[in-house]
């Protein structure tokens, strides 16, 4: 019987395939799989007795199989899924086999391992996914083997990730040892010249006036056009002599080393001054003076006058200190605090300040001089008093003024390291901090009163800070009789000494809540008065038992 049934099925498959296909096939295959149509090709994709298509898919689609095994690309990052969860077939010839979730436009490209950024975000998929841009050898080899269809036009696989894989090299291999992103970004190619660091990345650091010159002024030669693009040549320029770019106005009279007289800041100097070696004079130029333009010192009126005075800094410079340090009893030359390298920073340091009436320590060491020695944009170097409130505003109002001793009262609590580092010891007050109180920050108890935090006359009874959870049952009792600052929970209430009802016998074993119940009127636990006659809690039945 079984042999006859098998022969019948074989007869149908071999001699009546169209009739069987009409009965069993769910629909025509998509165009990409059209060459697999027909009942005799079913097992090319389907496994006998199984609905799982994935193993069979990857036997044919080998580029995907290699990427999945190596964990690359979109498919390589997917958790285990059947191919049919995204790719359907038997839905007719023109059916699109890729199911995009949520859509192709909204596809998360980062899941492929290549995140789209900047200008790339504005591109359509087809602008990058072109057959001519596919470079992966396995994809090209696979496409070549599928002569019946145009695989390269349909696949999203095989693109490179380097800029040059998609973009033409308009520099014609000038920068073959560098990456495009070393100079360019994905927002705009043309911004490269704005961010390019000529000092670090070339052998010709830009100094002086060269920093302001447009690139095209030096890079005049251009490369051959690449499509519609054409750029300057950037490699191979000569720069060892100024005359490589600049015309020698002196016609070689002073040789070819222009830097003997000129600088890169400007050529516009008086010819005599530019050629003159100032180091041979009685006043060699050092420090900041080497940067000063000649006519700042050599004015039109007294130009290069041999008798010019330069014995003191004040011969040229205005006394910013307005005579504050001009004292007859001491040496007051500018060189004590400044030098020709610049007025700032001053040479007057911490050790020098320690010799004054106000040695620097703590946070004062980190303050720039101008923070203290400036008031209303005017220099200040003398004060009538050197106490804290000369510079700092008090946030305490007048409440500590009675502790003032010789204008020094901030120091009773604060130190110069930081305002928050206090010397204050609460043990010296009427309210030493113990238990949980020692863990609190000051602001928990000391609240602002008219924008000033109150520290003096802070009330200390418990009820001033804590709510009465007992609804005034213990109005005339001290909280300390039951509670401690370590914990609100009473560690061991002395019922025998603190109440009129000593606990003994079976009573000693009861939990508090068995006698002290919640009182709706008080809206809390009632502790007093409590009826404590036997019959108030026990019935006659209880006694019999």
pLDDT score, position 500: 85
Identify the H or E element spanning 137.
Answer: helix 137-145
Judging by beta carbons within 10 Å of its beta carbon (0-12, 13-18, 19+), is residue 511 exposed, middle or buried?
Answer: exposed
Question: To 5 degrees, how large is the angle CA 72–CA 56–CA 134?
Answer: 40
- pLDDT for 2 equals 42
Residue with tokens 């009538």: 384
**Kind and range of the H or E run holding 369:** helix 369-372
* Residues 6+ away with beta carbon under 8 Å from 481: 498
Secondary element (H or E) of residue 415: strand 414-415
Angle separating helix axes 62-70 and 137-145, nearest 10 degrees: 150
Residue 347 CA: distances (Å) to CA of 44, 151, 311, 439: 88, 77, 20, 46
Cα 10 versus chain centre, distance? 71
> Cα angle at 97 between 93 and 101, to 5 degrees?
145
Beta strands in 477-539 (DSSP E): 518-519, 524-525
The radius of gyration of the chain from alpha carbons, rounded to an integer in Å, stands at 46
Residues in the chain: 545
Residue closest to 83 by CA, chosen among 92, 74, 93, 71: 74
Q: DSSP label at 418? A: E
C-alpha pair distances (Å), 132 with each of 65, 118, 514: 23, 24, 88
Do residues 12 and 20 make contact, with C-beta atoms less than 8 angstroms apart? yes
Cβ atoms 112, 73 nearer than 8 A: yes
- Helices 17-24 and 2-15: crossing angle in degrees, nearest 10, is 100
**Among 65, 239, 47, which residue's Cα sits nearest to residue 157?**
65
Are residues 143 and 149 in contact, defined by beta-carbon separation less than 8 angstroms?
no
Average pLDDT across each block of 10 residues of the chain; the chain has 545 residues. List them in order.
47 50 71 83 79 72 90 87 82 86 88 91 92 92 87 91 90 89 88 87 90 90 89 89 83 73 71 61 86 75 57 83 76 82 85 89 89 86 85 86 77 86 86 92 89 87 88 86 86 83 88 89 88 82 57
C-alpha closest to that of 266 among 250, 289, 242: 242
Q: Which of 151, 176, 183, 180 is nearest to 166 (CA)?
A: 180
* Stated pTM of the model: 0.43
CB 491 within 8 A of CB 484: yes
| CA–CA gap between residue 493 and residue 483 (Å, rounded) | 9
Where does residue 241 fall: left (phi above 0), alpha (psi -120 to 50 degrees), or beta otherwise?
Answer: beta
Rounded Cα distance between 361 and 203, Å, is 47
> Comparing C-alpha atoms, which of 460, 464, 446 is closest to residue 397?
446
């Amino acid at each position: 019987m079984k042999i006859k049934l098998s022969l019948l099925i074989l007869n149908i498959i071999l001699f009546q395939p169209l009739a069987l296909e009409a009965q069993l096939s769910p629909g025509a295959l998509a165009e990409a799989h059209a060459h697999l149509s027909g009942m005799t090709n079913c097992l090319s994709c389907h496994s006998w007795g199984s609905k799982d298509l994935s193993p069979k898919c990857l036997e044919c689609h080998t580029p995907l199989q290699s990427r999945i095994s190596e964990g690359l690309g979109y498919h390589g990052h997917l958790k285990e899924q059947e191919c049919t969860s995204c790719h359907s077939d038997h839905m007719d010839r023109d059916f699109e086999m890729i199911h995009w979730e949520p859509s192709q436009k909204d596809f998360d490209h980062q899941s492929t391992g290549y995140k789209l950024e900047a200008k790339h975000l504005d591109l359509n998929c087809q602008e990058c996914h072109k057959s001519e841009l596919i470079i992966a050898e396995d994809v090209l080899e696979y496409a070549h083997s599928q002569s019946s269809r145009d695989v390269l036009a349909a696949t999203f696989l095989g693109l490179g990730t380097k800029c040059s894989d998609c973009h033409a090299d308009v520099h014609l291999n000038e920068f073959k040892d560098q990456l495009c992103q070393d100079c360019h970004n994905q927002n705009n190619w043309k911004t490269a010249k704005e961010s390019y660091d000529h000092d670090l990345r070339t052998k010709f650091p830009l100094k002086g006036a060269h920093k302001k010159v447009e690139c095209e002024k030096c890079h005049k030669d251009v490369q051959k056009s690449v499509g519609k693009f054409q750029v300057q040549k950037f490699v191979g320029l000569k720069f060892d002599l100024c005359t490589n770019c600049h015309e020698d106005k002196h016609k070689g009279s002073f040789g070819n080393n222009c830097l003997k007289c000129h600088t890169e800041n400007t050529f516009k100097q008086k010819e005599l001054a530019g050629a003159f070696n100032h180091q041979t004079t009685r006043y060699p130029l050092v420090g900041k003076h080497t940067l000063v333009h000649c006519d700042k010192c050599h004015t039109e009126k007294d130009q290069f006058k041999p008798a010019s005075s330069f014995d003191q800094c004040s011969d040229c410079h205005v006394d910013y200190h307005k005579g504050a340090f001009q004292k007859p009893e001491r040496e007051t030359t500018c060189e004590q605090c400044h030098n020709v390298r610049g007025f700032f920073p001053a040479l007057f340091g911490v050790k020098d300040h320690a010799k004054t009436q106000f040695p620097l320590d703590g946070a004062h060491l980190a303050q720039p001089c101008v923070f203290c020695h400036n008031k209303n944009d005017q220099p200040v170097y003398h004060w009538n008093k050197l106490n804290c409130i000369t510079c700092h505003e008090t946030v305490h109002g007048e409440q500590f003024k009675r502790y003032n001793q010789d204008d020094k009262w901030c120091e009773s609590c604060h130190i110069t390291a930081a305002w928050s580092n206090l010397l204050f010891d609460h043990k010296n007050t009427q309210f030493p901090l113990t238990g949980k109180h020692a863990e609190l920050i000051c602001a928990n108890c000391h609240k602002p009163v008219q924008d000033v935090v109150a520290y003096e006359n802070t009330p200390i009874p418990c009820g001033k800070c804590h709510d009465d959870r007992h609804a005034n049952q213990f109005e005339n009792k001290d909280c300390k009789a039951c509670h401690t600052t370590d914990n609100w929970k009473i560690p061991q209430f002395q019922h025998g000494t603190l109440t009129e009802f000593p606990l003994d016998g079976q009573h000693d074993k009861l939990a508090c809540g068995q006698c002290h119940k919640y009182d709706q009127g008080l809206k809390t636990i009632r502790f007093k008065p409590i009826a404590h006659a036997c019959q108030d809690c026990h019935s006659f039945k209880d006694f019999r038992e």
